[in-house]
Amino acid sequence: MVRGTLEVLLVSAKGLEDVDFFGKMDPYAVLMYRSQEQKSSTASGAGSDPEWHETFVFNNVSDNVSELIVKIMDSDTFSKDDFVGEAKIPLEAVFAEGSLPPTIYSVVKDQRYCGEIKVGLTFTPVCSVLLYDVKLEGPLPASKLEASTRKHSGDGNIPRIRKCHLKEEVCARVKSIKLDYIVSERTEWP
């Protein structure tokens, strides 16, 4: 299972079905991934063709949840906000490619097309690897390794890493879970 951060660029919407009877709609978007929810600013008076150009970041994203939901709402001052429609954005492609340029997705309400939304996606994997009692052979710069639990091996000052998070540039070398680093210097471990 791949985990990481999903960055969503909410660009604009076009041709949204107008749900306001008086004046122009004041649309905003609610972006949902699992239990995480974020809200855009309100495009006051933008009507059916709002523009946002806003970026949202979702953490702890994994490839076992395959869609992002974007609900479009119309902000109302004296009554409950109106539901305009929603877009279900599949995430399989961004997990595979890493980045997708702004793309148009259909906005639907009651299984009926009611406009489109333009969204760009970027997925940045965080390589979390459990390494139990593996001696690191070095040099492995500290900038490439963030150890969350460090432990002396018990035989002098040669450390062992119990659990670590590797930064992206190291992930490719670790996917085989075969490390060939030796610690060349004695290191003080907290």
- Asked whether residue 128 carries a pLDDT value surpassing 50, the answer given is no
> Between residues 165 and 183, which one has the greater pLDDT?
165
Instruction: Give per-residue pLDDT as tens, 47-103.
Output: 999 999 999 999 989 888 889 999 999 998 888 999 999 999 999 999 888 899 999
Instruction: Give per-residue pLDDT as tens, 18-57.
Output: 887 777 899 999 999 999 999 999 999 999 999 999 999 9
Q: How far apart are CA 167 and CA 143, in angstroms?
A: 8
Do residues 77 and 16 touch, judged by C-beta distance below 8 A?
Answer: no
> 3-state SS string over 102-148?
EEEEEEEECCEEEEEEEEEEEEEECEEEEEEEEECEECCCHHHEEEE
pLDDT of residue 158: 39
Do residues 138 and 40 touch, judged by C-beta distance below 8 A?
Answer: no
- Asked whether residue 141 carries a pLDDT value surpassing 80, the answer given is no
- What token pair was written down for 179? 């490390």
Q: How far apart are CA 116 and CA 43, in angstroms?
A: 16
CATH 2.60.40.150 domain span(s) along the chain:
3-123
Instruction: Give per-residue pLDDT as tens, 155-164.
Output: 444 344 433 4
Do residues 39 and 29 touch, judged by C-beta distance below 8 A?
Answer: yes
Q: What is the CATH number of domain 3-123?
A: 2.60.40.150
Nearest to 26 by CA among 53, 51, 49, 47: 47
- Asked whether residue 165 carries a pLDDT value surpassing 60, the answer given is no
pLDDT of residue 142: 47
pLDDT of residue 79: 87
pLDDT of residue 131: 39
- Asked whether residue 179 carries a pLDDT value surpassing 90, the answer given is no
> Between residues 127 and 176, which one has the greater pLDDT?
127
Residue type at position 165: H
pTM to 2 decimal places: 0.68
pLDDT of residue 127: 55
